[in-house]
Amino acid sequence: MTSFADARKALQRGETDCETLVSSFLARIRERNPSLNAFISVDEADALAQARRLDRSPDVDLPLKGLALAVKDVICMKGRRVTCSSRMLEQFESLYDATAIERLRAAGAIFVGKTNCDEFAMGSSNETSYFGPVRNPANAEYVPGGSSGGSAAAVAAGLCHAALGTDTGGSIRQPAAHCGVAGLKPTYGRVSRNGLVAFASSFDCMGPIGQSVEDCALLLNHMAGRDERDSTSASARVPDYAQALTGDVRGVRIGLPKEYFADGLDDGIRSMIEECVRGLEREGAIVREVSLPRTEYGVAAYYILTTAEASSNLARYDGIRYGHRAAPGELRGALRSEQAAVSGANGESAGERLDAESMLREFYTASRTEGFGDEVKRRIMLGAYVLSSGYYEAYYAKGQQARTLIRNDFDAVFEEVDALVTPATPAPPFRLGSRVDDPMAMYLGDVYTVPANLAGVPGLVVPLGLHPAPPRLPIGMQILGPHFGEETILRIGDMAERLQR
Ligand code: GLN
């Protein structure tokens, strides 16, 4: 499989053109997508038109010219559906391009389609999508990971050069690990969230998934940076991330947090990481054990805080302002009752008004019941509960305190080391269907990825090859860095890739 960096060289030498590249990806999508279910929508004619436009202007040497890019279907592209893999938004068309899309388009990227994911990015296996599960390209009986499973599977199966994912608690890194590709969750605020449908706004990050660390760096170059349309976007300088891949890790201080290598970690994964770390040490990295003592509170704090934010963010989908509407008959009834409720202010009896309100409530309930799947409903209920008066202090406020402590852990450890190397997941990919009825087991699988989102620090996953035990599925390793430490973790990840070549 060629990386974009290699395709770019071929393009520059005139050995191929954008149309040829895109046509071959479209052919592969036609062939493999029916079984993988990685894409929700592909607009072939539009992708080819974008490619031809770029081919017709050969003197414009755009940095990402010819990059065939897939986009997770929670990111807005003007005039395209953005479903969030939910029945709620099945027919919803986006009115504008996300900032990252605008920037990547201007840099020469070609958008081939929108990828499947867990519904509203809630999940770790890509089984909560209204459009059905995505399958792992390495073995169709296994999950590709989630929630950006379609994006990771599309890259792993060679259906595009790279893909955009989003990561609220691991959704770029975990599917990258399960599919055997590279994936970067940038520092919170490094990439604008404008045009990304919100799940948990203080956690959500958009980032690249690619065949190589270099491809992730090239994409980040054109995604990062301050955006007036996202007040939480950072104005920190955007370096050339590809320049950071020097192949030199001499003197880089790497910490192995002992809490990430404790009981519960699969032995095969542990030994693959240890082997890679020994390689980095041979290249001159300085490795030592460190501690992040509050790691054990990560999953609990994450599921309290993100469900709280989700319950608020998803309140807008009520069938009237946005989203799926319950059957037209009920809608007419509800609208009539809304009018009645308004006119009720002018003399209607209290009883009639109550009746009108309850009909409207029924309509909201019907629209939301039909529009959302089980996992989304579970999170809305959990979030409403932890925010409710009486429980707020016990859950939400405590969760915020735990978040601060976890962030302090990272701040302290990055005084001692430049980066952390950890597993991405406690276990290899699991069988489709094996955890769908056990949300706790699913949530606990996020133990190594959620702390980075709680703290806002960047995390990169690099593939390490295949697990030693059958069915020999892909395994990834996570590299975490301090805020805006993307260059360091990309350099280490690139080195880890070189060691495997
Ligand atoms: N698996 C986590 C969850 O279900 C992370 C999801 C994400 O990063 N979008 O919340």
Task: Give distance in angstroms: CA of 199 to centre of ligand 1.
Answer: 9
pLDDT value at position 423?
Answer: 98
In this structure, are residues 166 and 98 in contact, taking their beta carbons and an 8 Å threshold? no
Domain end residue (candidates: 337, 371, 405): 371
**Average of per-residue pLDDT values in the chain:** 95
pLDDT band, residue 357 (cuts 50/70/90): confident
Same domain, 345 and 455: no
Task: Give distance in angstroms: CA of 166 to centre of ligand 1.
Answer: 9
Q: In Å, how far are 50, 228, 327, 437 from 42, measured between CA atoms?
A: 13, 30, 29, 31
pLDDT value at position 285?
Answer: 98
Supply the CATH number for residue 137's domain.
Answer: 3.90.1300.10
The packing angle between helices 4-12 and 18-36, to 10°, is: 150
Question: Closest ligand 1 atom to the C-alpha of 172?
Answer: 8
- DSSP letters, 427-483, are SS--BTTSSTT-HHHHHHTTTTTHHHHHHT--EEEEEEEE-SSTT--EEEEEEE-ST
* 376 lies in some domain: no
Ligand 1, CB cutoff 6 Å, lining residues: 121-124, 147, 166-171, 199, 306, 446
* 398 lies in some domain: no
Neighbours of 175 (CB within 10 A): 40
Same domain, 181 and 247: yes
In this structure, are residues 133 and 143 in contact, taking their beta carbons and an 8 Å threshold? yes
Radius of gyration of the chain (CA): 23
Report how far residue 54's alpha carbon sits from residue 206's, in angstroms, rounded to the nearest whole number: 25
Neighbours of 25 (CB within 10 A): 23
Q: Which of 122, 148, 299, 438 to mutate to test the pocket of ligand 1 (most atoms within 8 A of CB)?
A: 122
Cα 211 to its chain centre, rounded Å, is 16
The packing angle between helices 328-344 and 350-371, to 10°, is: 150
Q: In Å, how far are 152, 306, 316, 494 from 178, measured between CA atoms?
A: 8, 23, 33, 19
Domain end residue (candidates: 343, 371, 399): 371
Catalytic residue among 72, 85, 114, 124: 72
Catalytic residue among 3, 125, 129, 171: 171
Please state the rounded mean pLDDT for residues 46-64: 92
Task: Give distance in angstroms: CA of 304 to centre of ligand 1.
Answer: 13
Same domain, 87 and 158: yes
Task: Give distance in angstroms: CA of 57 to centre of ligand 1.
Answer: 41
Domain end residue (candidates: 371, 404, 436): 371
pLDDT reading at 2 higher than 70: yes
* 120 lies in some domain: yes
Same domain, 333 and 448: no
Max CA distance (Å), the chain: 83
Same domain, 334 and 264: no
Same domain, 138 and 207: yes
pLDDT reading at 215 higher than 70: yes
The one-letter code for the residue type at 263 is D
Report how far residue 164's alpha carbon sits from residue 47's, in angstroms, rounded to the nearest whole number: 16
pLDDT tens readout for residues 151-177: 999 999 999 999 999 999 999 999 999
pLDDT value at position 351?
Answer: 65
Same domain, 187 and 260: yes
pLDDT reading at 138 higher than 90: yes
* 81 lies in some domain: yes
* 301 lies in some domain: no
Q: Which of 117, 302, 380, 446 to mutate to test the pocket of ligand 1 (most atoms within 8 A of CB)?
A: 446
Same domain, 53 and 178: yes
For the chain, how are helix, strand and coil distributed in percent, rounded to 5?
A: 45, 15, 40
Report how far residue 357's alpha carbon sits from residue 361's, in angstroms, rounded to the nearest whole number: 6
In this structure, are residues 104 and 71 in contact, taking their beta carbons and an 8 Å threshold? no
Please state the rounded mean pLDDT for residues 80-85: 98
Helix, strand, or coil (residue 34) = helix
pLDDT tens readout for residues 19-48: 999 999 999 999 999 999 999 999 999 999
pLDDT tens readout for residues 108-134: 999 999 999 999 999 999 999 999 999
- DSSP letters, 374-433, are HHHHHHHHHHHHHHSTTTTIIIIIHHHHHHHHHHHHHHHHHHH-SEEEEES-SSS--BTT
185 assigned to active site: no
Task: Give distance in angstroms: CA of 168 to centre of ligand 1.
Answer: 6
147 assigned to active site: yes
To which residue do tokens 């409530």 refer?
361
Same domain, 152 and 250: yes
The token pair at 124 is 């770790």
pLDDT reading at 340 higher than 70: no
Same domain, 188 and 54: yes
In 440-465, which positions are buried (b, 16+ CB within 10 angstroms) versus exposed (e)?
A: eebbebbbbbbbbbbbbbbbbbbbbe
pLDDT tens readout for residues 305-314: 999 999 999 9
Please tell me whether the peptide bond between 147 and the residue prior to it is cis, using omega within 30 degrees of 0: yes
* 397 lies in some domain: no
* 396 lies in some domain: no
* 403 lies in some domain: no
Catalytic residue among 3, 85, 94, 147: 147
Same domain, 339 and 289: no
Same domain, 185 and 66: yes
User: What is the residue range of 98's domain?
Assistant: 4-295+414-499
How many domains is the chain partitioned into structurally?
A: 2
The token pair at 254 is 């790497």
pLDDT reading at 345 higher than 60: no
In this structure, are residues 117 and 129 in contact, taking their beta carbons and an 8 Å threshold? yes
